[in-house]
Amino acid sequence: MKFVIATLPGDGIGPEITEQACAVLNKVGQLYGHSFEFKEYLVGGAAIDKVGEPLPAETLAGCLASDSVLLGAVGGPKWDNLTGDIRPEQALLGLRGELGLYANLRPAVLYEALRDACLLRPDLIGDGIDIMVVRELTGGIYFGDSGRRQGPNGEEAYDTELYSEMEVERIARTAFEIAMKRNKRVTNVDKANVLESSRLWRSVVLRVAEDYPEVELNHLYVDNASMQLIRDPHQFDVIVTTNMFGDILSDEASMITGSIGMLPSASLGEGRFGMYEPIHGSAPDIAGLDKANPIATILSAAMMLRYSFDLEAEAQAVENAVIQVLDAGYRTGDIFSPGMKLVSCKEMGTLIAEALK
């Protein structure tokens, strides 16, 4: 089978980690008889420097013409002083909106080999952590009306949280469908005691839950949920929540698994098309030094194999290769501990590719 993948290396460590994920996909292709064609496009700060905008029309057209998208990272202090409409991060919002990617899947898994990197007490870790955060991606406060105006106390700024029934229903169904393939537990996270948008959100989630009687549903306010993730992570299986709450909670979940450099994500729309990216940032302080951890990007490529290409065996092979390399004691700097074998970004990618079976 042949697949065309639009690659968006972006800024900072983006080009380095994307290169390693593509190398692993090429090895998958060799082993399983697939062909992956990578077409590279500008995005983020790199695009601003070259053409003056974070999401060029050519990049968007290339993504729409591909079978899937692999994104590295965008942003950095170089572009921090730009106005909001042309900052590198605008490319992410543009891609999600234009590609119709409304469901963001962020798994948070603590690998056995990295138990010592977890910041929680051993008794809280138990037999491991495995949480899937399902974040709504094209609505809410990031896409609502925003602006500035003059008020009685000087300049005011506002951002609007807005959700429709349709937007809530489709993300809720995504969460319940995923839960049906896991441990059949969904935790809805909102702020229904304060926000009208959250009250609509909860009512729609309750309605959708009626179609999934096998799934246990419970609700947490977002402030309590942030505490419960630390106090008892085992209570969570699938978390479904809004765009902003999901952005925050998924990063919190990443830290209880040892390193944000380990966690992948998938952004999905209707059908099988998706955009895949690590949830960490561009880490400009180590860009070009071959120190980055490529595992999150490689695991994002595994999610691409599973969700966009329906290649479950290939996805599991990549995930098993990551586990094998970690079990053998190889570590990049962000997850290194005494007694382990420190390797570079490129070396980690090569080891994972060589471990594929």
Which positions are annotated as active-site residues?
A: 142, 191, 223, 247, 251
In contact, 290 and 311? CB cutoff 8 Å: no
DSSP class of residue 116? G
Rounded-to-integer distance, Cα 158 and Cα 164, Å: 20
The one-letter code for the residue type at 75 is G
What H or E segment, with its residue span, contains residue 319?
Answer: helix 312-327
326: nearest Cα among 316, 335, 313: 335
337 is written with which tokens?
């501990």
Count CB neighbours of 155 within 10 A.
8
Rounded-to-integer distance, Cα 236 and Cα 131, Å: 6
239: left (phi over 0), alpha (psi -120 to 50) or beta: beta
In contact, 51 and 42? CB cutoff 8 Å: yes
- Those residues whose C-beta lies under 8 Å from the C-beta of residue 214, and which sit 6 or more positions away, are 180, 184
